[in-house]
Structure 1
């Protein structure tokens, strides 16, 4: 992948993560944060398998999916 595109994916991931701290609705927070985590995983993979980026963001993504699909409905 083009290194410039990879950089933009990293920046967009940061924007989504920060945006998730601004929102108030928990479901929206989880969705936006999950998008940011997916972007960080893609960024980590295409930047030479950056495991310290891939592992925590992959885990957080699974946690968000768990809470969105199986979590307590309120």
Structure 2
């Protein structure tokens, strides 16, 4: 078993402003830049997705659009 930690320096106010911003241009940039990572995560969590959890992009879109949020803690991309 292994683990890792990635640390990022963010402007907290600017980051919080993205939640619920409905910024489709932001989603496009993220999708273009990290599309392979999102697809890899979807593949890794394919069983959970088959059981009804959101795909990675759908979870990201829910955050940017302010919901709806999935509160089921057993889901791969639970947002609460």
* TM-score of the alignment, normalized to the shorter chain, above 0.5: no
Structure showing greater radius of gyration is 2
Structure 1 length-normalised TM: 0.28
